[in-house]
């Protein structure tokens, strides 16, 4: 199967769930706790005797991902600490051979298949328990070979023992090369066992897609930004810097605008449950996607980019305006050279009055307040293919405009006076986009949000930007 055909479902999906889970959830200080606190392997290993997630229900994870609007899941099979959630014949530091006594990866895969969810495996090439990793292939060739042989054996197990796997998400290749890891050999084996699989770029080979981490950066190749819901990948009890539903939605729209995906992470607790703050935010974004998913799923990279009011997504000749900064009753979108056939609100289907003046699309008669506090989507139907004004490729676009200072100099060459330096006014404080939840703070209910939104749309309400 060709690369484009293999990638089609993934590029249409646009949104997936990342899950970091392992014995590091017990100390609850993040997935790097072993390294960051320099915990020796023999001191770290007893955590596996306590890791028995009796409340782990993978069907509930799948249901949450589906209700959030996510189309695929990627779970850590083994992270850098070396603990495997699956039954491995080349390691005793596994869930099936310690307190849990279960192959947690098998349960996850079976739940995904039952729920019609695409299956992804995260796998770390490095393992902090191996001295050969720190010494490297030049200083410890035998130790390095033992590590690489172990990695290849585990990846073969993952590709052979769990049915169809849709994504292999490598990590931990630094600071070594693809040659050091024998990545070409490794990935050839993977593709032989799983011909339709997608592989990311972290085995130090480009493979199928790029993976910017904790930021959104589009690339010319297929790409997927992976980000956390707070500041931690693994469960961290002290990290309450939670992203709001609107922040998550803005990230998703930015990814879709650039033709990329968002892989959003949750870090389950040791008992297998997902923190309530994560659940609340995911379900809120999912409710938005139920009504507005057509403006995300299957969309292409938008050449119109962003405007003063938000981002844009594109599907064929349909342009979606994602208005996250509601301007009031009028809205202008620039750089549209295509003829516009119609404009309407996505949720209500209500037509919107518009005029075109050159490349500027001007919308009028809009509600004073944003109909949707998270993201109000307007649908612009274009005639034919999208045509976009590029200021730098249109040298005559500003030809009739003369900068005021230049005009004055031409008209009155002897009357120029030194410029007056004006004192700057204090900058207005920016409204914070971060509204962290804490264990003491209640999470907003759907009913409360709906009531608040209803109040926002009353005609008597004063005009102001949508809430962040």
> How confident is the model over 175-200, as pLDDT tens digits?
999 999 999 999 999 999 999 999 99
Element (H, E) at 33: helix 33-36
Other CB atoms within 10 A of residue 143 CB: 17
Give the separation between CA 4 and CA 195, rounded to whole angstroms: 13
pLDDT > 60? residue 443 = no
pLDDT > 60? residue 408 = no
- SS3 of 45, please? helix
Q: What is the pLDDT of residues 320-357, one digit of tens each?
A: 999 999 999 999 999 999 999 999 999 999 999 999 99
Element (H, E) at 80: none
* Residue boundaries of the structural domains of the chain: 3-295, 310-382
pLDDT (mean) for 152-158: 99
Topology, domain 3-295:
TIM Barrel (3.20.20)
Q: What is the mean pLDDT of the chain?
A: 89
| Per-residue confidence band for 263, with pLDDT thresholds at 50, 70 and 90 | very high
pLDDT (mean) for 8-29: 98
pLDDT computed for residue 402 by the predictor? 62
pLDDT (mean) for 284-302: 98
Between 450 and 226, residue with greater pLDDT: 226
Write out the two tokens for 348.
Answer: 């209500």
Q: Which of 90-94, 232-236, 251-255, 416-420 has the lowest mean pLDDT?
A: 416-420
pLDDT > 90? residue 461 = no
pLDDT > 60? residue 456 = no
pLDDT > 80? residue 437 = no
Write out the two tokens for 169.
Answer: 């998400």
Between 375 and 448, residue with greater pLDDT: 375
Other CB atoms within 10 A of residue 115 CB: 15
| Per-residue confidence band for 395, with pLDDT thresholds at 50, 70 and 90 | low
Q: Are strands 72-78 and 118-124 parallel, antiparallel or unpaired?
A: parallel
Residues 6+ apart with CB under 8 A from 50: 23, 26, 99, 270
The DSSP letter of residue 97 is G
pLDDT > 70? residue 442 = no
Give the separation between CA 77 and CA 224, rounded to whole angstroms: 20
Alpha-carbon distances, residue 297 vs 17, 70, 138, 159, 337 (angstroms): 15, 10, 47, 28, 25
pLDDT computed for residue 403 by the predictor? 65
- Cβ distance 300 to 332 under 8 Å? no
pLDDT > 80? residue 207 = yes
pLDDT computed for residue 392 by the predictor? 86
pLDDT computed for residue 396 by the predictor? 66
CATH superfamily of 310-382: Golgi alpha-mannosidase II (2.60.40.1180)
pLDDT > 50? residue 428 = no
DSSP state string for 270-323:
TTSPPPHHHHHHHHHHHHHHHHHGGGTTT-B--TT-B-SSEEEEEETTEEEEEE
pLDDT (mean) for 418-439: 37
DSSP state string for 362-427:
EEES--SS-SSSS-EEEEEEESSS--B--GGG-TTTTTT---HHHHHHHH-TT---PPP-PPPPPP
């Amino acid at each position: 199967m060709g690369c484009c055909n293999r990638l089609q479902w993934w590029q249409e999906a646009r949104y997936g769930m990342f899950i970091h889970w392992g014995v590091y959830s017990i100390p609850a200080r993040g997935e790097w706790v072993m390294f960051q606190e320099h915990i020796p392997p023999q001191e770290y290993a007893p955590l596996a005797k306590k890791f028995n997630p009796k409340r782990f229900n993978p069907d509930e994870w799948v249901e949450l991902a589906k209700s959030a609007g996510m189309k695929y899941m990627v779970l850590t099979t083994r992270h850098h600490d070396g603990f495997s959630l699956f039954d491995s014949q080349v390691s005793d530091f596994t869930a099936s051979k310690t307190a849990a006594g279960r192959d947690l990866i098998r349960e996850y895969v079976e739940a995904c298949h039952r729920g019609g969810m695409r299956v992804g495996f995260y796998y770390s090439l490095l393992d902090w328990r191996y001295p050969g990793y720190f010494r490297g292939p030049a200083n410890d060739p035998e130790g390095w070979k033992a590590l690489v042989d172990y990695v290849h054996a585990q990846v073969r197990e993952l590709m052979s023992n769990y049915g169809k796997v849709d994504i292999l998400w490598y990590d931990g290749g630094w600071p070594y090369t693809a040659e050091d890891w024998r990545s070409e050999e490794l990935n050839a084996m993977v593709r032989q066992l799983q011909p339709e699989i997608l592989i990311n770029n972290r085995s130090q080979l480009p493979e199928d897609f790029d993976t910017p981490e904790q930021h959104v950066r589009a690339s010319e190749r297929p790409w997927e930004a992976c980000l956390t819901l707070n500041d931690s990948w693994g469960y961290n009890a002290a990290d309450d810097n939670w992203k709001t539903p609107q922040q998550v939605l803005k990230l998703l729209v930015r990814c879709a605008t650039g033709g990329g995906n968002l892989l959003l992470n949750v870090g389950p607790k040791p008992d297998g449950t997902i923190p309530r703050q994560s659940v609340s935010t995911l379900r809120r974004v999912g409710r938005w996607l139920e009504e507005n998913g057509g403006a995300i799923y299957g969309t292409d990279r938008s050449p119109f980019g962003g405007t003063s009011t938000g981002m844009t997504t594109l599907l064929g000749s349909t342009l979606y305006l994602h208005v996250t900064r509601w301007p009031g009753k009028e809205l202008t979108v620039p750089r549209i050279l295509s003829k516009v056939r119609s404009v309407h609100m996505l949720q209500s289907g209500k037509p919107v009055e518009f005029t075109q003046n050159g490349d500027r699309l001007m919308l009028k008669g809009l509600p004073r307040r944003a109909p949707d506090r998270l993201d109000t989507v307007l649908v612009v139907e274009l005639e034919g293919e999208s045509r976009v004004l590029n200021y730098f490729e249109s040298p005559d676009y500003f030809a009739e405009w003369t900068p005021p200072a230049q005009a004055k100099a031409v008209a009155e060459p002897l009357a120029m006076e030194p410029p007056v330096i004006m004192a700057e006014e204090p900058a207005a404080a920016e409204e914070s986009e971060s509204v962290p939840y804490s264990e003491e703070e209640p999470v907003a209910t759907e009913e409360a949000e709906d009531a608040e939104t209803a109040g926002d749309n009353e005609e008597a309400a004063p005009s102001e930007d949508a809430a962040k």
